[in-house]
Structure 1
Amino acid sequence: MKPALLLILFSTSVLTAQSASDTPAKIYSAGPDVTAPELLPHQVSQPYVNDHCTGDQQGKVTFSLIVDANGEPRNVFFLHPLGADLDVLALKHVTEDHFKPGTLNGQPVAVAESLDVSVRTCLRDEKDARGQARMVLHLAAEPEQELKPPVDPPQQVVLVSGNGVTPTPEEPNPLVYKVGGDVKPPHYFPPSTDEMRFARGLLDLGDYKVSVLVDRNGMPSSIRILDSAQPGKEQQIARIMSVWRFRPAMLNGRPVPARTEISLRFTMRGR
């Protein structure tokens, strides 16, 4: 029988937290008195690729976000990821979006929304800076996007941008939070069938314990192996975890980066 992923458990994160000092903004939902934001034409950061490509892939990713009073996407995280590299391209596209902001009595306000992003991609053989050939995933066409009503929108929240891990001019010293109190832990999206098949091809039966940093978009990074049933499987586990997606840790309704530990158990099907 083939091994299956039976159990996934989260424990508390391990790094220091800091309370937010920024002023929360009131968050609205579109309705009788509040107009909904509107997507503006996308400014493409790189040309779409549809020639000399192989491995056409497509899918739909859904995000939660807040469109602020300036029409910028804030507090972006996954609601329904694909669990593949298509998520990365969809996320990049959304964070580069610009909107006509929603209004209340004619004045721009922050409005919560969900956003469906349908992407089509392909692989192209390219050379890196060292002249080594590699396959690079590109958008083959402009993604189709559709704004929808929000899911569990906060009434007020500190508006943030970026993943909360990479230093920016606004956050030169980003912090990783500790789960507990007002900081709610990150939650994984159940692995897809393809992810399960991929994992079964790489790992043996047994227990594995992993530490992972989940950024505020819900992307994993800085994966560490704490305990492994099979020594020498560190690279395989890191490859598996790299395509997992999460609902990020939340602090008073806003996503924050947090490190968490995950226990995985692979056993025979039906046991």
Structure 2
Amino acid sequence: MTNESIDILHVDDNTKFANVTETFLNEVDDRFRIHSETDPTAGFEYLLANDVDCVVSDQDMPGSTGIEFLEKVREEYPDLPFILYTGRGSEEVASEAIRVGVTDYLQKGSGNDNYELLANRVANAVEQARTRREAERTRTQMRAIVENTNDAVVIVDTTSTIQYANPAVESAVGYAPDELVGESLTLLMPTRLEKPHVQALNRYLETGEKSFDWESVDLVALHRDGREVPISISFSEFEQAGERRFIGVFSVTSSE
């Protein structure tokens, strides 16, 4: 975990309980900065005007419930960590909270252990949210680079099925990106190279042994018009949604 501060909005109509909760949470984790409100309306107004990393809310409050508050928050902040911290839990409440999009659900209890559990839930939820946002920023930046590079980029899965192709592929091999997605990578290979490619991929998947230097290799690609075009290509591997992916970045080295 990082040492970055964590701003928490705590909504609970019981002021005494809110103060005790704030005291204990600050003792458990000095990164916490807690702002308390006694009703969801004031809580939502605070949320609109301030940066908040996590909302912790009671369920049963005068004029509104924690789930109704959650529904309102989700309309504006679909990914903001929201923990329902309720004194009277039930399967019905838990089920409804999950349906609406609660991040976590915790029943109030006495003793330090309960506050430590709440602190851990808050910290974990915030860390996961920050990791997702950072990953999304990275994906957005990488997509912007890939979409605008002059090099052709193709991503395939372990069956050599093309999952992505960037716009530069069309100028290199004549196919628009959407014509390639879902097709086999062998579509871009002369017939004589198809079998060696499949064998090399299967061997790598089974043993991890590479048949050639992935950093740079000279090959030929099959253009849409039937021509063979010489290319310089590099390969790398990454994981996407738990699945192995292979990326090839190539450029045509000469033209006829």
TM-score interval for Structure 1 and Structure 2 normalised by the shorter chain: under 0.3
More strand as a share of residues? 1
**Structure showing greater Rg:** 2
TM-score (norm 1): 0.18
TM-score (norm 2): 0.19
